[in-house]
Amino acid sequence: MSYRRLLRERRGLLGIAFLAVFSGNLGQSFFVGLFQRPLTQHLEIGAGTFGMLYSLVSLVAGFIVLRMGPSLDWVPPRRFALAVLIGLIAGVLLMTLSPWLVAAALGLGLVRLCGQGLMVHLGFTLAGREFGDQRGQAVGVASLGMPLGEILLTPFVALLLVWLGWREAWWLLALVLIVVWLSLMARISWPTAPQSPTDDIGTPAVRPLRDARFWRLLPLLMVLPVTMTGIFLYQAQMTDDLGAAAATYALALAGKGVARLPGALMGGHWVDRLGGRRLGRWYQLPFALALVMALAMGGDIAIWALMLGGGLVVGMQEPVANSLLVSLWGSEHLGRARAALSASIVFATGLSPAVFGILLDVGTDFAILLGGMLALLVGSWLLAQGTLAEVLRQPSPAKRPRLS
């Protein structure tokens, strides 16, 4: 099935998955960072305190995703989406209105949990579960919500702040989301949950965190988010150490968002044609080559290589990851498997700024950090080969779409 046909025949459900991923941008670090200065002034805290608070609420959000995410296997998606939307709006109101630090921190935590955590989890789980043999393309389309959010929301917020205060900007965006989501809930036919809470009684439990195959695969899926988080937060040190211009980073960051678009579409197409089980063996190659180029050449070329290579692979990773999780545990358990993966990545990206910061504080050159990431990538690729080989020996678990 081509993308055109997929959009024509399943646009309603694809729209839900895309909107969920796009809505998750309100909880992403790049978006919250746009309001970092007014938030710290509102809370009367310093930037360092805000950073520690942000890491803390992110780690707590990761634990909650691990507990709540599996419920999408038996809770009707429409009810799940409504609950997450209410939580996101409540978080925005608490964060922007409360004068008390604890309440505002709770609001920030809800924005992170329901935005980056559960909204994105909802979108990718639906795309990976409801489209059978076309799940790769469906996840590719849904994943476009992230780069489009980065490309569109940053200048849009900048324009809003010319006429509105930072609180009013949050409220306007929240209001737009409410209107669009309520419209979809009323007009679109939603799928049912694949299980009931009692379906697993008497059968072996699906517990990815207790499965060695998950732990062998996890480092390969975490290398890129960990590396890119460090690059985003410490881009000033990176450009200095690599001898690049600060303006180059700004342009290359926009290029990264653009590169994610073909990465997601090509990745989804290749997953459906070749299978995520084969693609999983080599999809990280562009980022590995980018790291080699950055180390060998330095300067502006290094920044462009990292951003474009990282953008391509970030776009491909979601279709590949979803396909591998379905191959290992089946589409009916994708909510539980994705919750484990999402929580693990949230933990890792919450801790990586501290690790990068400590190493930079003791005088480590950023090129050495990139070399360490390349070594980690190679090591994680070798570690994952056992799981990938086992998955390749399995029959395809593809499940035909359940029309509703």
Kindly report the CA angle at 392 between 266 and 207, in degrees rounded to 5? 95
CATH number, domain 1-197: 1.20.1250.20
Q: What is the pLDDT of residue 90?
A: 93
Contact between 282 and 336 (Cβ < 8 Å)? no
Tell me the pTM: 0.78
What's the confidence (pLDDT) of residue 203? 44
CA atoms of 354 and 195, how far apart (whole Å): 40
Tokens of 228: 């890119």
Q: What is the pLDDT of residue 274?
A: 67
In three-state secondary structure terms, 243 is coil
CATH 1.20.1250.20 segments of the chain:
1-197, 208-395
The closest alpha carbon to 32, from 99, 82, 105, belongs to 105
Neighbouring residues of 181: CB distance < 8 A, sequence distance ≥ 6: 19, 23, 81, 85
| Contact by Cβ (8 Å): 324, 274 | no
Alpha-carbon span 18 to 147, nearest angstrom? 11
Q: What is the CATH number of domain 208-395?
A: 1.20.1250.20
Q: How far apart, in whole angstroms, are the C-alpha atoms of residue 112 and residue 53?
A: 12
- Please tell me the distance from the alpha carbon of residue 113 to that of residue 91, in angstroms, as a whole number: 9
pLDDT at 83: 92
Q: Which two tokens stand for residue 345?
A: 């990545």
pLDDT along the chain (404 residues), means of 10: 69 85 85 78 74 79 82 84 92 88 87 87 83 75 83 82 86 92 83 63 62 85 83 78 81 81 77 68 86 88 89 83 78 77 77 76 84 90 81 54 39
Environment class of residue 236 by beta-carbon count within 10 Å: exposed (0-12), middle (13-18) or buried (19+)? exposed
